[in-house]
Amino acid sequence: MPLGLPAHGFARTSEWAVRAAQVDAAGVAHLTLGLTDSAATRTLWDHAFDLELQLHIGTTLTLGLTTRNCGNAVMTLTQALHSYFAISDVHAVTVRGLDGCAYLDKVRAGASSVQLGDLRLGHETDRIYTGTTATCVIDDAQAMRHIMVAKSGSTSTVVWNPGPEREPLIADLGKGDHQHMLCVETCNAGPDQITLGARASHTLTATISVT
């Protein structure tokens, strides 16, 4: 979203409407949520839009966010599907799929760098990996599992963990909680913005599975 808006935009704190909900014969739940522009949203972002989030919840989780430009003016936006994962120990996991990717390091005031090898964490990490369509894999050896985050309609990936440095500043994290969470986001962020012409649409999709 443009500068000056609430952190991560206004959609995350808006009230969405349930457009459809069902469970199919295979036991997969399908849920469709919608959000359209209103007088309140137009005070923040003066565009006519429709957002639709489709969730397919089974042994695999698929999230699809479709943004439609319902007006006649071009609109430019950033977007993210914020996926937070419970992990055994942030010091022990690695994230594969980002080797060689350029990133903006928000911990270092947006400094540019390049990922060399698999990503290992243990301190505050807040990075926007740009120009990447790759699947990411969280290798959690202690939990004996691999979390795969595949995507489409996305050219950025955000990796975030507050570390011990920022954990005390986050009200809903207790002491040591940062060690057991990791955020790997499917997004279009930083320089990877989406521009939609009149009546155009874009779908951002994340598919999450565990092996």
Task: Check whether residue 22 and residue 61 sit in a common domain.
Answer: yes
Task: Check whether residue 74 and residue 136 sit in a common domain.
Answer: no
* Contacts (Cβ under 8 Å, ≥6 apart) of 152: 133, 203, 204, 205
Domain range for residue 66? 1-78+193-211
* Contact status, residue 16 vs residue 53, Cβ threshold 8 Å: yes
How is residue 3 annotated by DSSP? Answer: T
Domain harbouring 144, CATH code: 2.70.98.10
Task: Check whether residue 24 and residue 97 sit in a common domain.
Answer: no
Phi, psi of 151 (to 5 degrees): -155, 165
pLDDT tens digit sequence for 125-134: 999 999 999 9
Task: Check whether residue 106 and residue 152 sit in a common domain.
Answer: yes
Q: What is the pLDDT of residue 4?
A: 59
Task: Check whether residue 203 and residue 166 sit in a common domain.
Answer: no
Phi, psi of 59 (to 5 degrees): -65, -25
The one-letter amino acid at 110: G
Q: Are strands 136-140 and 94-96 parallel, antiparallel or unpaired?
A: antiparallel
Task: Check whether residue 112 and residue 201 sit in a common domain.
Answer: no
pLDDT tens digit sequence for 24-53: 999 999 999 999 999 999 999 999 999 999
pTM for the full model?
0.94
Q: Mark residue 197 as left, alpha or beta (left: phi above 0; alpha: psi -120 to 50; beta: remaining).
A: beta
Count structural domains, the chain: 2
Average pLDDT for 52-80: 97
Task: Check whether residue 17 and residue 98 sit in a common domain.
Answer: no
* Contacts (Cβ under 8 Å, ≥6 apart) of 9: 1, 78, 79
Task: Check whether residue 98 and residue 184 sit in a common domain.
Answer: yes
